[in-house]
Amino acid sequence: MVPAFCYSPRPPIAMPNLFIFFFLGCAVANQAIWCYGGATGINGAQLTSKTSTLTKLDMSNYDFFNLQFNWQIVTPNNFVLEENWLMSMTSAQNETGLFIFGGMGLGSAPVNPVITYNGQSNTWKGTTTLPTDWNNTYPFLPAVVDLSSIGRTQAWIWGGAINGTDTGISPNVQLFDYNANTWSSSAQATPGGSIRYYHTASLSNDGASIFVLGGTSMRPGQVGESPIDMTEVWVFSTANGQWITVTGSSDTKLLGRQYHTAVTSKLEKKRSEITTRRVFLFCD
């Protein structure tokens, strides 16, 4: 899975027409990397404007020894994508579809806070409804995780600040069923009653846990506090909805990170024949 969001002071992705895209969302679907929205600049210039551009890079026969970045501009079938940036985006439906949440839109909020793409039927759908305990607001840059790999047609959404502010959103985990187009929530207490924003979340390979890393801690309804130590990992159980805190160890000092990305990697440890679980972080 491609991380949902990444910010870098250097130009991160060069797209068609020599534009540089910042604050965009990217994810994998149907053996391609899809990227949507963001702000544009040219040749490292300052940000110019938001965009609604949707592009994809075919990875089905990609030659990693002869790198070619042939991005294609895609026009959605019977659906208009609005200009948007700073959204959360992830794969869905076992990497055959996409789930896009939030962003800044043309003003302070997009017309469709939720957009889904079904790659099997090549159909797009926008949703305007939001969970009732968000009180007609929605979070800015929450962590989003697709649960289709454990047999659930849901996206897991948690954390973030109320859009356009530095005030914490409700600590409840929200679940969006992209088949039924409905919301549900889990109200289990978070560690210390706090939430995070500018954080990441990654599903373990066995689907039992979601690892929340980095970001900034805050209390719901209050402004942000200080960056979280990277060794303080919050773990959410997909089975019972309970949270625990795990303290990691490191040989080097790990600075707190925000706006980073994280991907779970499956690695084999031959000497013990046990599949290990690692989460790779990139940028901040």
Beta bridge partners of 57: 33
Q: Which structure tokens are listed for 111?
A: 């017309």
User: Which pLDDT score is estimated for 8?
Assistant: 37
Higher pLDDT, 269 or 191: 191
pLDDT of 6 strictly over 90: no
Amino acid letter, 99: F
User: Which pLDDT score is estimated for 167?
Assistant: 82
Contacts of 52 (CB under 8 A, 6+ apart): 36, 37, 80, 81, 82, 83, 84
pLDDT of 44 strictly over 70: no
Beta bridge partners of 126: 115
Instruction: Please give the average per-residue pLDDT across 152-158, as a whole number.
Output: 96
Round to whole Å and give the CA distance between 218 and 196.
6
pLDDT of 7 strictly over 70: no
Higher pLDDT, 267 or 280: 267
For 139-152, give the DSSP string: EES-EEEE-GGGT-
User: Which pLDDT score is estimated for 182?
Assistant: 94
Q: Which structure tokens are listed for 96?
A: 């055959």
Phi–psi pair at 192, nearest 5 degrees: 70, 10
